[in-house]
Chain A
């Protein structure tokens, strides 16, 4: 469903006064080609700053590739001016909140259910009960703990029924029980809604239990691709330490 073909991307230097064009930095991603089928997540492993989040942003359309292309369902990936495209993406980032600090959780739910016509309110309420945050809907988003925030964001995102999941370290800062709940929820969602996408995490067990396959992002290239069915987290960690 998602096909990344010979993708290359490098950030630009900040524009300087009196200089017409900004200079390009060396590419952070080089010649990346990947295919994700429906129902599967691809696990991206790599050290901080290797370009995992950049690749996620390229898939979503926040950045445009310098070379190569991203094909979605046989067509070139639309850009962020396309509202329908944005409705198909579900993005959760452990590192940065997507909630508005001056809104309560209940107001977020009202806003998302108004914007996303496929919003599954019943499923969402069930998840809130499961995560034990159903009594916090009247609280300000800024007053949530780190873990509560991620649980709420993930439930809210999946309730919008996205077809493409971009999960950027979604289990960071969560307690072990919550991590298990998150993995189960994502797996159920993939199976039920046939979604696909990528997941990055430094918790390698997340990747082996949630993603069908994955690879290391090393010096801008995808290397050491693996199938989760053939490898466990310990083995993945051993390989990781060998490579990095």
Chain B
């Protein structure tokens, strides 16, 4: 857990000064995540039984790189709308700003070669580790939905934050939500019941789903694994709709407040 906090602090501190749309920044992130993981794992000693290959694989899955791309874009436009009084930009567009930005950045992400590479690596790893083929599409969907949840959570908290505290609240929210997406974090931390813990955590599927599918749990049967993946899928879909509704409502409240 301390490792996750430290890693997220490094990443977000660095992120604020770089452009995540730039592929060099993305490579930098990969290297940074890998190196911080190495340091944290080495220092903790708690996972010393695992070999370095596990560390590499965990690093690949432990942080949803591509959320950096999407969060960055959505956040910038959102701040533009709110701080620069540019609501007229979206006032006349059919549809709200939230679905437009979300659709745009997800579309942008879908074209990103680093994202393709990352997905390919995940699929290859899953196959190499003998994960059942039918779990792979569910795993990929879970990653996408979990990351959209991360984005939406950031979006509506930004809308609801008081003006003077927006940056600090946003920073805390991002750190907390990415921390909650940490693979080893969510299971059993909210409740002792691991299934309930997954359901209560809207972000867990980003990392937990691939970790379970690829690296697996030696004590978990195949049926149990499918059961867990499906639970994650359904709960994260429900969270997604809930967050989308809240984000659209938050945008509308913020947007029409200046006209009343």
Residues of chain A having any CB pair with chain B under 8 Å:
12, 60, 62-63, 80, 83-84, 86-87, 89, 91, 93, 96-103, 107, 111, 115-116
Docked-complex contact A100 and B259, CB < 8 angstroms: no
Listed A/B pairs (30) with beta-carbon separation below 8 Å:
A12-B260, A60-B91, A63-B259, A80-B91, A80-B92, A86-B92, A86-B93, A86-B94, A91-B92, A96-B86, A96-B88, A97-B89, A98-B88, A98-B89, A98-B92, A100-B77, A100-B80, A101-B76, A101-B77, A101-B80, A102-B21, A102-B73, A102-B76, A102-B77, A107-B104, A107-B108, A111-B100, A115-B93, A115-B95, A116-B94
Residue among B89, B91, B95, B260 having the largest count of chain A Cβ atoms under 10 Å: B91
The 10 closest A-B pairs by CB, nearest first: A83-B94, A102-B73, A86-B94, A98-B89, A102-B76, A86-B92, A91-B92, A87-B94, A100-B77, A89-B92
Chain A nearest CB, measured from B109 CB (Å) = 13
The residues of A that contact B108 with a CB separation of less than 8 Å are 107
Chain B 94-123: CB-based contact to A (< 8 A → 1; otherwise 0) = 110000100010001000000000000000
Docked-complex contact A62 and B91, CB < 8 angstroms: yes
Chain B nearest CB, measured from A212 CB (Å) = 24
The residues of A that contact B259 with a CB separation of less than 8 Å are 62-63
Residues of chain B having any CB pair with chain A under 8 Å:
21, 73, 76-77, 80, 86, 88-89, 91-95, 100, 104, 108, 259-260
Contact status of A111 and B76, CB under 8 A, knowing A62-B91, A83-B94, A93-B88: no
Chain B nearest CB, measured from A56 CB (Å) = 10
The residues of B that contact A115 with a CB separation of less than 8 Å are 93-95, 100
Q: How far is the CA of A98 from the CA of B21 in the complex (A)?
A: 22
Query: Chain B binding site: helix, strand, loop or mixed by DSSP?
Result: helix
Chain B nearest CB, measured from A19 CB (Å) = 14
The residues of A that contact B86 with a CB separation of less than 8 Å are 96
The residues of A that contact B21 with a CB separation of less than 8 Å are 102
Q: Which residue of A lies closest to B81 (CB)?
A: A100
Q: How far is the CA of A12 from the CA of B94 in the complex (A)?
A: 27
Q: How far is the CA of A60 from the CA of B87 in the complex (A)?
A: 14
Chain A nearest CB, measured from B236 CB (Å) = 26
Chain B nearest CB, measured from A129 CB (Å) = 26
Chain A nearest CB, measured from B23 CB (Å) = 15
Q: How far is the CA of A63 from the CA of B91 in the complex (A)?
A: 11
Q: Which residue of B lies closest to A111 (CB)?
A: B104
Q: How far is the CA of A194 from the CA of B76 in the complex (A)?
A: 38
Instruction: Give 8 A-B pairs besides A80-B91, A98-B89, A101-B76 with Cβ atoms closer than 8 angstroms.
Output: A12-B260, A83-B95, A84-B94, A86-B94, A99-B89, A101-B77, A107-B108, A116-B94
The residues of B that contact A87 with a CB separation of less than 8 Å are 94
The residues of A that contact B80 with a CB separation of less than 8 Å are 100-101
Contact status of A62 and B104, CB under 8 A, knowing A83-B94, A83-B95: no
Q: How far is the CA of A62 from the CA of B258 in the complex (A)?
A: 10
Docked-complex contact B104 and A103, CB < 8 angstroms: yes
Q: How far is the CA of A83 from the CA of B95 in the complex (A)?
A: 7
Q: How far is the CA of A98 from the CA of B260 in the complex (A)?
A: 22
Q: How far is the CA of A12 from the CA of B89 in the complex (A)?
A: 22
Chain A nearest CB, measured from B148 CB (Å) = 18
Q: How far is the CA of A86 from the CA of B91 in the complex (A)?
A: 8
The residues of B that contact A116 with a CB separation of less than 8 Å are 94
